[in-house]
């Protein structure tokens, strides 16, 4: 009973691309533009990705800050007002 296992990283990558394709086709069938939705998602995700990179660098240095996302959101809110 040897078959593709989810432990195999190549199977995970293929499943991720398959899921992305299904989501994009579903969005297109709903009458929306998948590229504009993807662009908005990437724009919204960028600050959190940068915060996660900063946190991983601090973790390597031995420092811990579990409230990074909350601090980031408060600063962003204050920047708007």
Distance CA 27, CA 49 (A): 24
**Confidence class for position 70, pLDDT limits 50, 70, 90:** confident
Mean pLDDT across the chain, nearest whole number? 84
The arithmetic mean of pLDDT across residues 38-58, rounded, is 85
Would you tell me how many other CB atoms lie within 10 Å of the CB of residue 61?
8
Are residues 45 and 76 located together in one domain of the fold?
A: yes
Supply the range of the domain harboring residue 3.
Answer: 1-32
The arithmetic mean of pLDDT across residues 35-61, rounded, is 85
The arithmetic mean of pLDDT across residues 56-80, rounded, is 80
For position 19, what pLDDT does the model report? 96
Model confidence at 66: pLDDT above 60: yes
Model confidence at 44: pLDDT above 60: yes
**Residue 63 parent element (H or E):** none
Are residues 70 and 45 located together in one domain of the fold?
A: yes
Count of domains for the chain: 2
């Amino acid at each position: 009973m040897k078959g593709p296992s989810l432990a195999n990283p190549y199977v995970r990558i293929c499943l991720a691309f398959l899921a992305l394709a299904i989501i994009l086709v579903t969005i297109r069938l709903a009458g929306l533009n998948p590229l504009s939705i993807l662009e908005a998602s990437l724009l919204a995700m960028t600050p959190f990705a940068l915060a996660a990179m900063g946190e991983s660098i601090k973790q390597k240095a031995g420092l811990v800050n579990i409230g990074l996302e909350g601090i980031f959101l408060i600063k962003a809110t204050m920047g708007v007002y």
